[in-house]
Amino acid sequence: MKKLISFLVWMLISISLVGQSVDSLSAIRQVDSLVALARKYITNGNFDEALKIVESAKAKAEFSIGEKSVEYGTCASFLGTIFFQKRDFAKAESWYLKCIEVREKVLGREHLHYAASLHNLGNLYLESNQFEKALLFLTEGKEIREKIIGKVYPEYVQSINGLADLYYRSGQYEKSASFYSESRAINEKTHGKNHSAYLFTANALANIYVKTGDYEKAEVAFMEIKGVLENNQGKSGKDYAACLNNLSNLYEAMGRYEEAMNLLIEAIEIWASQVGRMHENYGQSINNLANIYHKLCYFEKAEKLHLEAKDLYLNKFGESHPLYARSLINLATLYTNLGRFEEAEPLCTTGLAIWGKVYNKQHPDYIKGLINLGNLYFILLQYNKAELIFNEAKSILEKMEGPSPVEAPALLRGLAAVYLRTARPELAEQLFIESNRIKEENLGKEHPQYAEGIDNLAVLYTESKDYDKAEKLHLEAKEIREKRLGKHHPDYATSLNNLGVLYMNKGEYHKAAALFHEAKNIVENALGVLHPDYAKKLENLAQLYIRSGEYDQAEPILMAFEKCRKAYLQKSATYLTVQEIQNLSNDIQEETSRFFAFTQLVQSPDLIMAAWDIALYHKGALLENALALKNAVVHSADSVIQEKYENWCSYQRLLAKEESKPFDEQKDVPMLKEKVNLVEKELMRAVPGFAATLGQITWKEVQQCLRDGEAAVEFLSYQTIASDSIMYAAMVLRPNDPYPVFVPLCEEKQLVRLVQRSGRKTAEYYWAMYQADQAGEPSLRELIWAPIEHLLPAGGTVYYSPSGLLHRLNPGAIQLKKNLSLLKNLKLVRLGSTRQLCMPRENKLGNNRSVLFGGIRFEADSLFLTQAPRESSQPSGNYRGLFTHTDSLLRGGSWQFLPFTQQEVNSIGQKLRQRGFETTIYSGIAATEETFRELGTRGRPSPKIIHLATHGYFFPDVKTTKAPQMEEATVFKISDHPLIRSGLILAGGNYAWQTGRPVKENREDGILTAYEISQMNLSDTELVVLSACETGLGDVTGNEGVFGLQRAFKLAGVRYLIMSLWKVDDRTTMQLMTRFYENWLQKKMDIPTAFRTAQLELQAKEPNPYFWAGFVLME
């Protein structure tokens, strides 16, 4: 740097004094004297003192000679240089531009000093990463110098070195190498190979060889430079330290980590003594040493140095510099490998954003950052996000000129891994092979990265049962890793683990067991028992013992695995969004299923207790997390948090609006999803103590909430060990049991034959489904209730949480014998999870409002808008939730007016007013979506009671059903989002249902989706009644439960929800709802008792469950 400063100053010498007056000559001499003094201070790095002197010289020149003078231009150039060195780029730019302006007028454009001014400004733009501007000024300066003095003088060499540096920094290595080669040839001819100018360009070329993977050339060049420097300067100079640093980069790329480490330790000692610990060169060397420590598994040392480098770059260059970004990316990579994902992601995204801005997303460093972020998302099982990131990197890489950067094989490997995990093995194999070919060509077959590549390919061959190919590659990778990394490295453990999986699949259990145990021990020592890789090793070992029938060996290992996984999931909930946690839970559902299946097989108390805890976590945990975040924000007094929350809600509303449009009219959906995701994570990090609100609940805590005469039942559904069959089981817990009882029930296919039988779902259909006798087929009672009946309190209360197809059923309708339903025999309380028994129940007092919607007019033509709704004379046959005129999967269906809903809400409204409720009824065209979505806004609490007597809809995911995906189907039927595919129909909704658009712009469309409801604040609402068809249905997602209207209202904060499981007769619904409100308001029963009593009263008149069991109450 000192030589660079000296050269810059040399270019600022004053020009001949011919033709000046005596006074001017005196002024010129004074200015020159001051400038010469300032030059000394600049050379010594004393920029503050130099600034004072140059300011004095500028004032003298301005007063005595004038601004249009060579001397004033020299002062301007000196000022630009001083501010450049002080990294005040704005002031430096201003003075350099002033210098160019003056010298152009005084000297003309074809002058060496004018060219020097252009070069200085170009160098400034280069240092501030404005590459396009830098190229313009550096090129013009070079052309002027070449024209005036040719290609042999130092000024020309400086110009081509500047251009070479520009192309190097922007990742255009081929162009950079061309200029550096020209510079090296000139320097060799002019100065010889021992001169610093030659060594500088030779070093730059060697660095390019490293970047492009030409390691043999790079090593020859670095060793030549190192030898010259040792002879010329000894081993304590700054140039020698730089050479050691660069040589270490080469050895790191070649996988020679120990050699690289030793070189860096030596270089750091030199930097510390020569330039101090705040110099950027010192920072680069400790950053590089941290990377080496990381690869050698010295994680504490690596973190310490990465943090030191990060602070150094931040203090010296600020938070927008690419070196600071590099320190963030490197630290993120370390944290990713340590399993500290909550710290890794924000570091990686921040560093990537800096690089993207600096390099305009067209640079190998930016590609490297994308690869690191993609790898993080892959580890988090977010395969869709990982694929998008990798494809972005691939697109940039394909547009870059010259040979592929060394990041290319890592990118191909990452994309191949995604293809393998998303069932595209053919594409994965192609990319793995191509990645390995590049690694073999650039690195050789002894490099750890090559070992990683062939090991990944071997995993693919294992999964495709090509065991011979797999074994050969696994053994080769293991040998390389053992030789280059040693037997205590996590990568070596990976080889052992993957080879063990191969032998386990081949049935060679003894070989597999030895490998799994060794791999587990290595990971435990290197990464610790909390690392996700340790849990994976435990799981593989447990599965081995299960397959080999050694259940006594499997159980403690499986329990240890579950403990690790539980801790990992609980930690993940503190930094992953609800949707990301959902995706993670779905991806590990197979592991959960295997645990339940093994519990059924072994039936040990420890396993059963753990199984209940697992069910408690997975059932409704995401809902609880979402509510916990909302509650934490609502109770926060921090205005910044409140503003973030408002932004989050705003983005979610915009997203809901866009996703409700036809697909071809949706705009910015991916961007909005990412905004929602990012702001949610910012909220989670910003809310104090949020992580502490996500405590786990155990079966013991549930038991402590049970009283005498009560029991809790957790239903489970899972895949059996021996086949692909889905099994159902129940876990029963009573107040004094030492542990829960695990009871296998039936296979899902048996339920399917009853629940999904062919034929129209009429009253006869439901009567037959719930009967005790099924003409040769097991009844529902025999399948799901009889096995646990003896464990339940006679006439007592049973809290139960459904699973799978049981979400579609009302157990109370099961016939025990003629004219005796389960509802008569027990008080059944339906819960999303028995964890709810342990949740605090707030009494929502001080709210006496009720809002009712019914008698809604669904048409929105001009005639309708001018007329009041008319009562229909049709006495019966209207069903809530049915289409007319067309099949329900096609666009064009319409919703019928429901005449009894007007009577229903009028009757209920009268009862509510009699009990002192401030009651509002919205009917006809007044029952709009805008009206509903106003509830709970403008600082007014949401009503205590919301009653919706209208049509409801739910459509299953077309990707998981046999239903054809029609091109004309509306977004409400084929959306990927389950909360869009369920909802309620309000005034004017038919128009949007048929066209996908609202009647007028800037108006709601009348289709109230579950997603829109989930964004509302109904936390003051005690009861929502969905007096509509199929409002209890939705996508059953893993163990989390139903994603539909019931989830939406829970997310909005509602306590009790009454909803329907099937299309219910309009008249019967009115009768049930009227009786319920009478029991609750007039007879002063609590809500669960009032609802149960109303169903019993209807059952006494009409035993067929179709008429009274279609509705269920959920707390």
The predicted structure's pLDDT at residue 845: 55
Tokens of 190: 């002019």
The predicted structure's pLDDT at residue 692: 52
Domains 1-150 and 445-526 share a fold: yes
Place of tokens 């240089």: 81
The Cα 878–Cα 1108 span in angstroms is 16
**What backbone torsions phi and psi does residue 1000 show, to the nearest 5 degrees?**
-130, 155
Quote the longest CA-to-CA distance of the chain. Answer: 127
The Cα 880–Cα 897 span in angstroms is 9
CA nearest neighbour of 617 among 756, 692, 714: 714
Residues 6+ apart with CB under 8 A from 630: 1051, 1053
Which region among 596-600, 647-651, 859-863, 906-910 has the lowest average model confidence (pLDDT)? Answer: 859-863
CA nearest neighbour of 748 among 809, 798, 791: 809
Question: Class of 1-150 per CATH?
Answer: mainly alpha
Which region among 24-33, 164-173, 332-341, 755-764 has the lowest average model confidence (pLDDT)? Answer: 755-764
Q: What is the mean pLDDT of residues 518-526?
A: 92
Residue 190: other Cβ atoms inside 10 A = 14
Q: What is the mean pLDDT of residues 781-809?
A: 90
Query: Above 60 in pLDDT, residue 211?
Result: yes
The predicted structure's pLDDT at residue 342: 86
Question: How would DSSP label each residue in 1006-1063?
Answer: SEEEHHHHHTS--TT--EEEE-STTTT-EEEETTTEEEEHHHHHHHHT-SEEEEESS-
The Cα 221–Cα 181 span in angstroms is 13
The Cα 290–Cα 663 span in angstroms is 48
**Fold of the CATH domain 235-317:** 1.25.40
Residue 182 pLDDT grade (very low, low, confident, very high; cuts 50, 70, 90)? very high
Of 124-133, 346-355, 631-640, 963-972, the range with the highest mean pLDDT is 346-355
Residue 661 pLDDT grade (very low, low, confident, very high; cuts 50, 70, 90)? low
Query: Above 70 in pLDDT, residue 443?
Result: yes
Q: What is the mean pLDDT of residues 486-508?
A: 94
The predicted structure's pLDDT at residue 115: 93
Which region among 153-162, 646-655, 837-846, 909-918 has the lowest average model confidence (pLDDT)? Answer: 837-846
The predicted structure's pLDDT at residue 861: 56
Q: Report whether 78 contacts 91 (CB < 8 A).
A: no
Q: What is the mean pLDDT of residues 824-845?
A: 79
Q: How far is CA 64 from the centre of its chain?
A: 65
Is the model more confident about 471 or about 662? 471
Is the model more confident about 752 or about 979? 752
Query: Above 80 in pLDDT, residue 548?
Result: yes
The Cα 747–Cα 600 span in angstroms is 13
Query: Above 60 in pLDDT, residue 867?
Result: no
Residues 6+ apart with CB under 8 A from 12: 35, 39, 74, 77, 78, 81, 116
Residue 697 pLDDT grade (very low, low, confident, very high; cuts 50, 70, 90)? confident
Q: Cα–Cα–Cα angle for 271, 352, 345, nearest 5°?
A: 100
**What backbone torsions phi and psi does residue 43 show, to the nearest 5 degrees?**
-60, -35
CA nearest neighbour of 1113 among 1076, 1088, 1094, 1084: 1088
The Cα 808–Cα 511 span in angstroms is 47
Query: Above 60 in pLDDT, residue 959?
Result: no
Place of tokens 């071809």: 664
The predicted structure's pLDDT at residue 509: 95
Q: What is the mean pLDDT of residues 481-507?
A: 93
The predicted structure's pLDDT at residue 86: 83
Instruction: Tell me the CATH architecture of domain 850-1114.
Output: 3-Layer(aba) Sandwich (3.40)
The Cα 1013–Cα 1053 span in angstroms is 10
The predicted structure's pLDDT at residue 721: 82
The predicted structure's pLDDT at residue 869: 37
Residue 1102 pLDDT grade (very low, low, confident, very high; cuts 50, 70, 90)? confident
CA nearest neighbour of 1010 among 731, 656, 770, 757: 656
Query: Above 50 in pLDDT, residue 1069?
Result: yes
Would you call 402 helix, strand, or coil by DSSP?
Answer: coil
Q: Report whether 65 contacts 102 (CB < 8 A).
A: no
Residues 6+ apart with CB under 8 A from 346: 681, 685
pLDDT, one tens digit per residue, over 928-958 is 989 999 998 887 889 999 999 888 887 776 5
The Cα 786–Cα 805 span in angstroms is 18
Domain boundaries, the chain: 1-150, 235-317, 445-526, 637-686, 699-838, 850-1114
The Cα 659–Cα 273 span in angstroms is 61
Bridge partners of residue 884, in order along the sequence: 894
Place of tokens 């320190």: 327
Tokens of 692: 């502490």
The predicted structure's pLDDT at residue 898: 83
Side-chain half-sphere exposure of 349, counting CA atoms within 13 A: 13
The predicted structure's pLDDT at residue 878: 45
The Cα 113–Cα 107 span in angstroms is 8
The burial class, CB within 10 Å (0-12 / 13-18 / 19+), for 548 is: middle
Residue 21 pLDDT grade (very low, low, confident, very high; cuts 50, 70, 90)? very low
Residues 6+ apart with CB under 8 A from 249: 207, 210, 260, 288
CA distances from 329 to 292, 320, 326, 334 (A): 15, 13, 5, 9
Q: What is the mean pLDDT of residues 863-883?
A: 39
Query: Above 60 in pLDDT, residue 339?
Result: yes
Tokens of 347: 């570091």
Q: According to DSSP H, which parts of 763-828 are helical?
A: 763-769, 780, 786-789, 822-825
Q: What is the mean pLDDT of residues 660-671?
A: 71
Query: Above 80 in pLDDT, residue 473?
Result: yes
Tokens of 285: 């060397």
Q: Report whether 517 contacts 541 (CB < 8 A).
A: yes
Which region among 296-310, 820-834, 893-907, 1026-1040 has the lowest average model confidence (pLDDT)? Answer: 1026-1040
Query: Above 50 in pLDDT, residue 10?
Result: no
Tokens of 1113: 């109450």
The predicted structure's pLDDT at residue 669: 74
Which region among 245-249, 677-681, 806-810, 1070-1074 has the lowest average model confidence (pLDDT)? Answer: 677-681
Amino acid letter, residue 97 = L
The Cα 494–Cα 522 span in angstroms is 10
Q: What is the mean pLDDT of residues 782-806?
A: 91
The predicted structure's pLDDT at residue 45: 79
pLDDT, one tens digit per residue, over 383-400 is 989 999 999 999 988 887
Which region among 15-29, 354-368, 578-592 has the lowest average model confidence (pLDDT)? Answer: 15-29
pLDDT, one tens digit per residue, over 237-283 is 888 999 999 999 888 888 888 999 999 999 999 999 999 999 989 99
The predicted structure's pLDDT at residue 822: 86
Which region among 353-367, 805-819, 854-868 has the lowest average model confidence (pLDDT)? Answer: 854-868
DSSP letter (8 states) at residue 795? T
CA-derived radius of gyration, the chain? 37
Query: Above 60 in pLDDT, residue 864?
Result: no
The predicted structure's pLDDT at residue 23: 61
Q: What is the mean pLDDT of residues 791-808?
A: 90
Question: Class of 445-526 per CATH?
Answer: mainly alpha
Q: What is the mean pLDDT of residues 800-815?
A: 87
pLDDT, one tens digit per residue, over 133-170 is 999 999 999 999 999 999 988 899 999 999 999 988 88
Q: What is the mean pLDDT of residues 82-97?
A: 90
Tokens of 312: 């150094």
CA nearest neighbour of 811 among 828, 836, 796, 793: 828
CA distances from 643 to 638, 639, 679, 691, 787 (A): 9, 6, 11, 20, 53
